[in-house]
Chains A and B, each alone.
Chain A
Amino acid sequence: MKIRSLILYSFISSIFLFSLISIWKILSTLQGIDLKNFNFAIILSLGIGISLINLVIGDKLNNYVKSIVFASFFTLIDGFIIQNMPIWYNIGVFGIIIFYSFKIDKYNQKNLELEHSSQSVLFEFLTLFGIVLFSFVILFPFYMMIVTSFKTQAALLINPLDFSINFAQDIKELFKSYFVIFDTYKFGRYILISTFVSVGTVIITLIFAIPAAYAVARLNFFGKNFLSTSILIIYMFPAIVLVIPLYTVFSQLGLRNNVGGLLIVYTATTLPVAIYMLQGYFKSIPKELEEAAIMDKLNWFGIIIKIILPLSIPAISSVALYVFMIAWNEFLFSLMFLDNPNSFTLSRAIQYLSGDAETPRQYLMAGSVVVTIPVLFIFVYFEKYLVSGLTAGSVKG
């Protein structure tokens, strides 16, 4: 057995165990449990001990029996060090050790003697470590957003780490923040405006982009190459450099505080990427189909409606979803163009809410949940289309 592999194996697996236990402790703390210490040294030595015993036992004991023995042993010691923990905490620890024992089960003395075994061990545990850490870091803010929206300011002042939700209380109390933002802050109206603006942007963008993309993909005309490059270059220019001239012109034309003005700007800013994405797809449609259509005396309009559109439903859907997402999430232009609370979009409304220092933070988070949920839902449901949209639209910040 290589000594280097042995050390790496026991050390890295215990670090992994420590990180799992620590994350569990953090989450438990946020349920209002009084935990003060990660007990780094103790957990690490326990982990090293378990991983070494695992090597010694090897295949002599059934995997399940082994895991349960390890888990009970660890949970007992952990329970002895930090006493008076609720039972669910100990069950969680038990579960983590079961998971951990299954992960280290495949290592035995023979295994560690193989060539590159130390590297394999390293890679394997770093992968596990990475999965756990990445999920935690990404999901944690979303988790906090949701649980904060169910708390009250007073409860958070008493114990800023207690995010446990009391499901026993009245449903009206539980969803109080949501009732307040819909009643007092007119969020129902903002949802409608945001939906109207986003769906409107999608429709107008498609109406403008499909013919233009078809022309770029199929037809020959003077300045075609110039146009395709400028589409990309224009797309790189940020909203912030457009803001001042648009603000002045829109003020003078009376287009500020007007959802129509927002629609124009959103359409114009998403058009380049929509054209870029669509023309790439149109190019992949076999030309023979159109040649047959020309024989049948179909004009360009007919070709687009009868041949191109039905064949490019997937591409159009991904463009539509992508544009919807951009319009729904957009903030800068809605900040610049809207200052009348009657015409706010959701993003602008939340920013307006936060401008008042008196606003309790659970309202802010309830608003954030309301604006986030539709996008994440659409994303998860239509992931296939959206991912291809994101990849093709690549350059959008």
Chain B
Amino acid sequence: MSDTLSKIEKRTAYILLLPAVFLVFSIILFPIFANVWISFKEVGLKDIRIPEPRAKKIVKSIKDSSDEIKIIYKLRNSSLILDIRDVKFQDKIPKNVEPVNLDERCQFKSNIINCNFGNWKAKYKENFQIILKNKKGEKINKKEIKSIKPKLSGKSDNILLNTNFTLKNFKKVFFQNEFFDLLMTTFYYTFFGTIGSIVFGILAAQLVNQKFFGRTFMRSILLFPYVGPVVALAYTWELLLDPYSGTLNNLLLNFQVIQEPLNLLGQKYLTINFFGFDLKLRLALTTVIIFEIWRYFPLAFLFILARLQAVPKELYEAADVDGAGPVQKFVSITLPQITAVISILFMIRFIWNFNKFEDIFLLTGGASGTRTLPINVYEQGFTISDIGMGSAVSIVIVALLLVFMFVYFRLLGKRADEN
């Protein structure tokens, strides 16, 4: 009895799960595996279109004969790379009209012209011509003929489905793509963005955890950058930071903090003279990291605040009795209470910052030394139009992510053991 019940339970579970699992599998897991496949192929953006036979129909009258008319079909293979096999053509013509001297590849049968064009090579082009004659010697209606569209069909290979593989993409990723520079930029961005957002998150949480007028309001506005649409925020920042018309530069110039406008998003290096040493600062990268911190510290803030509010008040009261000052209270009560949250936050944010695409794309488009791995995927795939390369970079990202996740779950497991 219980056995059948558990069977029913199992079956119900699978039925309930099936739609969600199917959708996630086809939209998330399948593409990840498809990336592996594509990354071993030489595919450009233009190759992914399935080749189609196309025909443009032009109708012309013939001089000195009103009962005859000429149709020119501009035939072509839409693909520049792939052949089309067994191209079939079909077009209807009105009643009372018949073709004259029909091409030998074609047949005429009850108002329908059927042609078999055979194989078309890549880039194939032909001007195919039919002359129509009215059987009764009347004038042919050009418009009627023009309104009928010819039908074409053909067989072709899908470049994505054939089995030609190559290691070229990976060679290019590692040896021709300034791979080391790419990796370093990504890590700078990820690491400093993560650390910064956590530090500011702690500060903000510490603030809001105290009683003051307008505290709930403060908590709301602190989350604004996180919930606002990235497009709007990035463009606002871009306007603020513009070297010529931007508000920030104009303010700094106005109050004589700087003598010349700074191109905060368009300049790769800023040389700072520091006690006689020339320090080179990655300017655009720093700006992008600051935007990142501005946008994502609210999340850290939210987590840490939730944790802070769960710290028992008695601990602080006891510390007061013992005569501890604010600094001591922070170091010996607050910090130990939030280390667990901070480490989880660090790992989550690290992974997400590592994946971040939109923010940099909208601010700099990856120029002036802000090219990270995700930006490179887009660049390779859609700017240089090399789908294979884009996939290869995606694979590198996935591989690194798997490493991070392995570490993450390892540490999480350890923590669970300790508790």
Contacts and interface: CB of A to CB of B under 8 A. Distances in A.
Contacts of A252: 48-50, 158, 160
Given A243-B377, A395-B348, A141 B236 contact: yes
Given A36-B256, A138-B225, A347-B229, A240 B49 contact: no
Contacts of B299: 390, 394
B236 A237 contact: no
Given A221-B13, A240-B357, A350-B231, A131 B35 contact: no
A160 B247 contact: yes
A394 B348 contact: yes
A220 B207 contact: no
B237 interface: yes
Interface stretch (B60-68, B125-133, B147-155, B394-402): B394-402
A244 interface: yes
A371 B23 contact: no
A123 B326 contact: yes
Q: Which of A215, A275, A332, A397 has the most CB of B within 10 A?
A: A397
A351 B28 contact: no
Query: For the side of the interface on A, what is the size category?
Result: 35 or more
Given A156-B245, A215-B12, A248-B38, A238 B397 contact: yes
Q: Which of A222, A245, A332, A379 has the most CB of B within 10 A?
A: A245
Query: For the side of the interface on B, what is the size category?
Result: 35 or more
A239 interface: yes
Please report whether the interface of chain B is mostly helix, strand, loop or mixed according to DSSP: helix
Contacts of A361: 239, 245
Contacts of B221: 135, 138-139
Contacts of B86: none
Given A236-B401, A246-B27, A391 B306 contact: yes
Contacts of B207: 127, 130-131, 134
A390 B302 contact: yes
A234 B24 CA distance: 9
Contacts of B21: 212, 227
A144 B358 contact: no
A195 to B, nearest CB: 14
A219 interface: yes
B26 interface: yes
Contacts of B377: 240-241, 243-244
Interface in A27-65: 29-30, 35-38
Contact of B16 (A212, A238, A375, A394): A212
A154 to B, nearest CB: 12
Interface string B248-280: 001100111000000000000000000000000
A376 interface: yes
Interface stretch (A174-182, A266-274, A310-318): A266-274
B159 to A, nearest CB: 10
B416 interface: no
Interface in B212-249: 212, 218, 220-233, 235-237, 239-240, 245-247
Nearest to A207: B19
Given A350-B231, A386-B227, A243 B24 contact: no
Interface string A370-394: 0110011001100100110011001
B210 interface: yes
A81 B99 CA distance: 97
A300 B9 CA distance: 9
Contacts of B34: 245, 248-249
A194 to B, nearest CB: 10
Contact of B27 (A240, A264, A394, A395): A264
B79 interface: no
A16 interface: no
A219 B225 CA distance: 40
Given A241-B355, A241-B397, A368-B229, 5 more contacts: A209-B20, A214-B16, A243-B377, A252-B50, A375-B227
24 contacts: A35-B254, A123-B327, A127-B207, A141-B233, A163-B247, A219-B10, A221-B9, A221-B13, A234-B29, A238-B374, A241-B31, A244-B38, A246-B27, A252-B48, A268-B23, A328-B229, A331-B230, A336-B382, A354-B235, A365-B239, A369-B232, A372-B233, A375-B228, A375-B229
- 6 smallest CB-CB distances across A and B, nearest first, come from A238-B355, A268-B27, A116-B325, A368-B232, A245-B31, A245-B34
Interface of A: 26, 29-30, 35-38, 115-116, 119-120, 122-123, 127, 130-131, 134-135, 137-139, 141-142, 144-145, 148, 156-157, 160-161, 163, 208-209, 211-212, 214-216, 219-222, 224, 227, 233-234, 236-249, 251-252, 264-265, 267-269, 271-272, 275, 300, 325, 328-329, 331-332, 336, 346-347, 350-351, 354, 361, 364-365, 367-369, 371-372, 375-376, 379-380, 383, 386-387, 390-391, 394-397
